[in-house]
A and B are shown apart, each in its own frame.
Chain A
C-alpha cells in the first residue's frame, strides 16, 4: 500500500509537471509577451530602464544626469556616488515634497540602491515615473558595483 501510494504520488506529480511544462513552452512560443527561453536575458530585455555599471559611470562622467540613492539614509552616509542625492524609496512622499519644486520633470534621473536584489531602485523609479518624471533609468548593479570598480565615492 505504501509502495502504491509513493508510486501514484510520483507518477501524478511528474506527469502534472511535465504536461504543464510542455504547455508552458508551447504557450510561450505563441504568446505576444513570450520570452526567449534558450539564453540569458540581457539587462535591457529585463527592463528597458536598466543601465550597466559602465553606462551609469559614463552618465556620471558626462554630468548631465542626477543620481538618486534609494537606500536608507544611514547607508547613504556610509558611502555613495559623488553628487548623488539621498532619496530613500521608503520616504518618497516626504523627499518628493522637497525636490519637486526644483527638479525639472525632464531631467534624466539615475536611481540606484545596493545592487542586484535590492529592489529599492526599481520601487523609486516607478514612483518617480508615476509622479511625472519621464527620463528615469536604473543603475541596476548599484552601489556594490560602483564600489567594486573603485570609482570615486563620497563618504
Chain B
C-alpha cells in the first residue's frame, strides 16, 4: 500500500506539493522538499518491509509515517479544513472521518506488524 501511494506521488511531485500546501501546516519553503522526499521514504520502507531486509527499521519508518499522517489529518480536520488528503495521488479523497479512519487502521496495522517483528527471535531480527 505504501509502495503504491509513494509511486503515485513520485510521478506527480507538483500534485503532492499542492496537496501539502492545502494542509496549510508546512512553511512554503519546505513543501517541495517534503513532496520530493516523503514518497521515496514510503516506497523504500515498503519495499524493505516486504523484502525482509532492515525490516525492523522499515516498519519503524512506516509506523512513524502513519502516525504523522494521522496527526496531520486530525489537526487539519479539527481546523475545519478539508483538502484532498494526498494519500494516494490523484485517487485521494478529502480529509474527513473516512480518511482518518483509514489512516488509523493503517497505523494500527503498522504497530501490530512492528510488535510482531520485535517478538521474533533475535537472530532472525538481525537481518
- Among the 9-residue stretches A25-33, A51-59, A78-86, A93-101, the one with 4 or more Cβ atoms under 8 Å from chain B is A25-33
Which of chain B's residues have a CB closer than 8 A to the CB of A46? Answer: 14, 17-18, 21
Interface membership of A145, Cβ < 8 A: no
Contact B37 A24 (CB under 8 A): yes
Task: Tell me the minimal C-beta distance from B39 to chain A in angstroms.
Answer: 7
Which of chain A's residues have a CB closer than 8 A to the CB of B18? Answer: 46-47
Which of chain A's residues have a CB closer than 8 A to the CB of B83? Answer: 117-119
With known contacts A35-B13, A39-B29, A46-B18, A21–B61 Cβ distance under 8 A: no
How many residues on A have C-beta within 8 angstroms of the other chain's C-beta atoms? Answer: 40
Sample of 30 A–B contacts (CB below 8 Å): A8-B126, A9-B57, A12-B60, A13-B57, A15-B54, A16-B45, A16-B54, A20-B41, A20-B44, A21-B40, A21-B41, A23-B44, A24-B37, A24-B40, A28-B36, A33-B13, A34-B13, A35-B13, A37-B32, A37-B36, A39-B29, A40-B31, A41-B14, A41-B17, A45-B14, A117-B76, A117-B79, A117-B83, A118-B83, A123-B84
Q: How far is the CA of A122 from the CA of B84 in the complex (A)?
A: 9
Q: How far is the CA of A8 from the CA of B117 in the complex (A)?
A: 13
- List residues 109-138 of chain A with CB under 8 A from any CB of chain B: 116-120, 122-123
Which of chain B's residues have a CB closer than 8 A to the CB of A19? Answer: 44
Which of chain A's residues have a CB closer than 8 A to the CB of B22? Answer: 116-119
Interface membership of A5, Cβ < 8 A: yes
Instruction: List chain A positions with a Cβ less than 8 A from chain B.
Output: 1, 4-5, 8-9, 11-17, 19-21, 23-25, 27-28, 31, 33-41, 45-47, 116-120, 122-123
- List residues 17-42 of chain B with CB under 8 A from any CB of chain A: 17-18, 21-24, 27-29, 31-33, 35-37, 39-41
Interface membership of B56, Cβ < 8 A: yes
Contact A119 B28 (CB under 8 A): no
Which of chain B's residues have a CB closer than 8 A to the CB of A119? Answer: 22, 81-84, 94-95
Contact A9 B40 (CB under 8 A): no
Q: How far is the CA of A41 from the CA of B54 in the complex (A)?
A: 35
Interface contacts beyond A24-B41, A38-B32, A117-B22: sample of 16 additional A-B pairs, CB < 8 Å, sorted by A:
A5-B125, A8-B125, A9-B57, A15-B57, A16-B61, A19-B44, A20-B45, A21-B41, A23-B40, A24-B40, A33-B12, A34-B36, A117-B76, A118-B22, A119-B82, A119-B83
